[in-house]
């Protein structure tokens, strides 16, 4: 009997016993690979283990430390990814398909590692927005912060991306400090089990932070509580069912879903045959039709093209399919497109194609008969035990009515089925349009999509589509000759940008850089004194206590420097000669610095004034300690504002306070953010800004580091 796939719960691998289980078969041959069951798995215990052991493990780590672990996990998976490539062939994935899933998933780990180290503080509290003054004297202030949720992230994944789909949920949850319980889809659960096992074998995964449950999860939602969250990817029908659970309905549990959507790709009227845009459109459509055998939630289901060129587009796509598609077992040499994940999926796709045909669709590329394929041994023939479907394109004739998202079938209108029925395989439909407004209306009739691409070199047409369809999409890709070669593609979400969509697409949002991390955290407004908010956030706030101990802050390494360490300079006079020297030396002879009459006529100046950048330069001279180390470099200013003009014969002074200290996990130095305030002789604020410096962790520590500019390495 084929072995049952184990689950990893409560710190150990557990294999269910008994005859229960679902057979998982090779997508090409029908051979049983494994059986999947969750019988006897303590689901409630897995959740409790995550909330206790997992929360404690992640709570000991800062954002950058978690980010470093994500990088090391990515490296570990990279070293063994060939095992995963080989295993994925059994699910019907070609090498190209596996690149999107396996390398894409690893890429998510690296991206969130980088963002966690660059964009998140060296602590566990994330600041959101500026300080809000709540009193005239500055003794009472407020601001918003994010802290991690105290529960567990339950992640329910689809079959088509068993690695990328799971890691794009796991990485931001881990970085936020929330443990994950991963539930993979049964047809590809053996791939999820493989990559999870690889990570666990490294010893990098903190206890309780990653659990895997293969098989069904009956009753798990009953055990969810406030502080837990669910991220679901799959069918809209299943999402609707899960969303009705009382623990979701009563707002106890956060629930986000990413579901199937009828995505569109629009060809602009300027993109006629022979243009780079026409060629890019056909190439992109071909990729989305054949990649993963069309089993992508972002695949192009509706090709919306000018009515006059429908025949040309179809002919060009047919030629590309004939030239490049070799359908067969991914183990066989030369195969470029594999089967669907299972024969059940194959049968469902063909049933949906029948619905589209019944609605008036005409099959213009391919047919529904069983195709001849390249088998594992290299022979060619029918393979009824495999889940093979050749690329199919249907045409829906006539222009749509353009009456908007709610328009139904009627005279001249496209049948609603083309905008609502999804054949989740290598199937797409082509629809003609006659105006930008009509194209946008056709896009909207999908009821909410993950992505729409617009292929045009005409900014006016692109703007019309943006205005008419952005509200119905989670992502819009504008493709033309300038970015066609570098574009990541219609169907490829990137971790830097949001993935999700309104309406039918689930109404949820994943990825999007740090936004996805914040989905696993609670935003809270905090109020108090500057000293209290400094203590709570680890960031110095104006008005909080500062310390001047006689040692210039620039003489302190990160090991010695403390938030609130401060240097206050003496006054320096500003003369008219200084202003004129700076003007002629730099070439900045703007009239406000050079002409008394013209400057006085300006509503902002009393007369000639000093250059703002002269004052900032002098401020650096006033606060800097020139000797080598431990400050290695100044690499920028942020939030610079000039507030009070400085006239000839005024004086300025500067106060510099250590505001935030962020050691870098991979270097012998870290970043220090300094609060810089320039005052005049009347104690009026002239300018304020943040100074960013790179500082050694210990005196002399960076001297032994490998060569190269510290600024470049930042």
Q: What angle do CA 224, 230, 233 make, to 5 degrees?
A: 145
- Greatest extent of the chain over all pairs of C-alpha atoms, in Å: 96
Q: Residue with structure tokens 């493989």?
A: 194
Query: Between 276-290 and 310-324, two packed helices, what is the crossing angle to 10 degrees?
Result: 50
Q: Which one of 297, 422, 509, 665 is the catalytic residue?
A: 297
Cα 341 from Cα 495, distance rounded (Å): 25
**Cβ atoms of residues 545 and 168 within 8 Å:** no
Spatial neighbors of 196 by CB under 8 A, at least 6 apart, are 8, 182, 210, 212
Q: Residue with structure tokens 């509580």?
A: 225
List beta partners, residue 658.
674
Cα 608 from Cα 602, distance rounded (Å): 10
Helices (H), 523-611: 530-537, 576-586, 591-594, 596-601
Cis peptide upstream of residue 656 (ω within 30 degrees of 0): no
Spatial neighbors of 582 by CB under 8 A, at least 6 apart, are 588, 610, 611, 614
**Cβ atoms of residues 184 and 192 within 8 Å:** yes
Query: Between 104-119 and 63-79, two packed helices, what is the crossing angle to 10 degrees?
Result: 160
Active site residue 31: no
Cα 588 from Cα 583, distance rounded (Å): 5
Neighbours of 292 (CB within 10 A): 26
Structure tokens at 608: 């000639």
Query: Between 81-88 and 189-202, two packed helices, what is the crossing angle to 10 degrees?
Result: 170
Of 300, 319, 308, nearest to 273 (Cα)? 308
Spatial neighbors of 269 by CB under 8 A, at least 6 apart, are 306, 436, 456, 458, 461
Q: What angle do CA 611, 617, 623 make, to 5 degrees?
A: 135
**Cβ atoms of residues 335 and 328 within 8 Å:** yes
Q: Which one of 168, 193, 258, 277 is the catalytic residue?
A: 258
List beta partners, residue 696.
669
For β-strands 32-36 and 22-25, DSSP reports them as: antiparallel
Contacts 24+ apart (CB under 8 A), 242-251: 242/156, 245/221, 247/221, 247/222, 248/221
Structure tokens at 26: 């090779």
Query: Between 164-176 and 63-79, two packed helices, what is the crossing angle to 10 degrees?
Result: 150
Q: Is 665 helix (H, G, I), strand (E, B) or coil?
A: coil
**Cβ atoms of residues 202 and 76 within 8 Å:** yes
Structure tokens at 60: 């000991």
Active site residue 86: no
Helices (H), 412-479: 417-420, 436-444, 459-469
Spatial neighbors of 211 by CB under 8 A, at least 6 apart, are 7, 8, 9, 10, 46, 49, 50, 54, 179, 180, 181, 182
Spatial neighbors of 463 by CB under 8 A, at least 6 apart, are none
Structure tokens at 526: 């905090």
Could you tell me where the beta strands, DSSP code E, fall in 276-327? 302-306
Of 337, 335, 348, nearest to 292 (Cα)? 337
What residues are annotated to the active site?
Answer: 258, 297
């Amino acid at each position: 009997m084929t072995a049952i796939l184990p689950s990893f719960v409560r710190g150990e691998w557990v294999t269910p016993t008994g005859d229960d289980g679902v057979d998982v078969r090779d997508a090409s041959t029908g051979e049983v690979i494994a059986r999947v069951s969750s019988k006897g798995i303590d689901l409630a215990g897995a959740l409790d283990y995550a909330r206790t052991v997992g929360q404690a493990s992640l709570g000991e780590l800062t954002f950058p430390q978690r980010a470093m672990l994500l990088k090391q996990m990515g490296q570990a998976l990279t070293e063994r990814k060939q095992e995963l490539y080989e295993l994925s062939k059994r699910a019907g994935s070609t090498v190209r398909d596996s690149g999107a899933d396996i390398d894409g998933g690893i890429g998510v780990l690296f991206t969130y590692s980088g963002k966690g180290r660059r964009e998140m503080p060296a602590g566990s509290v994330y600041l959101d927005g500026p300080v809000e003054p709540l009193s005239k004297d500055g003794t009472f202030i407020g601001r918003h912060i994010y802290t991690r949720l105290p529960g567990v992230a339950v992640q329910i994944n689809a079959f088509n991306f068993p690695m990328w789909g799971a890691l794009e949920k796991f990485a931001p949850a881990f970085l936020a400090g929330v443990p994950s319980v991963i539930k993979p889809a049964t047809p590809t659960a053996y791939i999820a089990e493989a990559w999870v096992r690889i990570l666990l074998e490294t010893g990098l995964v903190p206890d309780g932070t990653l659990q895997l449950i293969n098989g069904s999860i009956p009753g798990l939602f009953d055990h969810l509580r406030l502080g837990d969250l669910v991220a679901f990817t799959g069918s809209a029908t299943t999402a609707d069912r899960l969303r009705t659970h009382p623990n979701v309905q009563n707002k106890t549990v956060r629930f986000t879903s990413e579901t199937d959507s009828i995505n569109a790709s629009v060809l602009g009227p300027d993109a006629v045959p022979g243009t780079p845009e026409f060629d890019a459109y056909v190439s992109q459509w071909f990729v989305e039709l054949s990649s993963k055998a069309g089993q992508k939630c972002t695949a192009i289901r509706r090709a919306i093209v000018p009515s006059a060129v429908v025949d040309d587009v179809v002919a060009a796509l047919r030629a590309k399919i004939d030239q490049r598609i070799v359908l067969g077992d991914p183990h066989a040499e030369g195969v470029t497109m594999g089967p669907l994940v299972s024969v059940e999926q194959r049968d469902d796709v063909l049933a949906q194609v029948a619905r589209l045909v019944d609605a008036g669709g005409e099959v213009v590329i391919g047919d529904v008969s069983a195709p001849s394929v390249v088998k594992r041994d290299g022979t060619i023939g029918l393979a009824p035990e495999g889940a093979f479907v050749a690329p199919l394109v249907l045409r829906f004739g006539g222009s749509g009515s353009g009456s908007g998202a709610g328009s139904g079938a009627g005279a001249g209108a496209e049948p609603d089925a083309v905008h609502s029925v999804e054949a989740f395989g290598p199937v797409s439909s082509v629809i003609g349009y006659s105006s930008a407004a009509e194209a946008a209306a056709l896009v909207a009739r999908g009821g909410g999509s993950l992505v729409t691409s617009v292929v045009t070199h005409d900014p006016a047409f692109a703007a019309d589509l943006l205005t008419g369809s952005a509200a119905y999409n989670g992502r819009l890709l504008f493709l033309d000759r300038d970015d066609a070669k570098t574009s990541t593609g219609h169907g490829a979400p990137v971790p830097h940008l949001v993935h999700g969509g309104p309406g039918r697409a689930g109404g949820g949002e994943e990825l999007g850089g740090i936004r996805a991390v914040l989905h696993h955290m609670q935003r809270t407004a905090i109020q108090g004194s500057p000293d209290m908010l400094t203590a709570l956030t680890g960031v110095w706030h104006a008005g909080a206590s500062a310390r001047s101990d006689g040692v210039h802050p620039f003489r302190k390494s990160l090991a010695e420097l403390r938030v609130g360490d401060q240097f206050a300079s003496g006054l320096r006079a500003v003369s008219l000669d200084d202003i004129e020297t700076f003007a002629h030396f730099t070439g900045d002879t703007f009239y406000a610095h050079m002409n008394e009459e013209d400057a006085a006529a300006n509503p902002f100046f009393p007369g000639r004034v000093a250059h703002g950048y002269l004052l900032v330069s002098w401020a650096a001279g006033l606060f800097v300690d020139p000797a080598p180390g431990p400050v290695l470099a100044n690499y920028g200013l942020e939030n610079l504002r000039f507030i009070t003009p400085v006239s000839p014969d005024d004086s300025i002074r500067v106060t510099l306070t250590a505001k935030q200290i962020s050691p870098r996990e991979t270097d012998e130095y870290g970043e220090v953010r300094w609060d810089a305030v320039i005052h005049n002789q009347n104690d009026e604020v002239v300018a304020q800004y943040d100074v960013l410096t790179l500082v050694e962790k210990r005196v002399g520590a960076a001297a032994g580091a490998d060569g190269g500019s510290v600024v470049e390495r930042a």
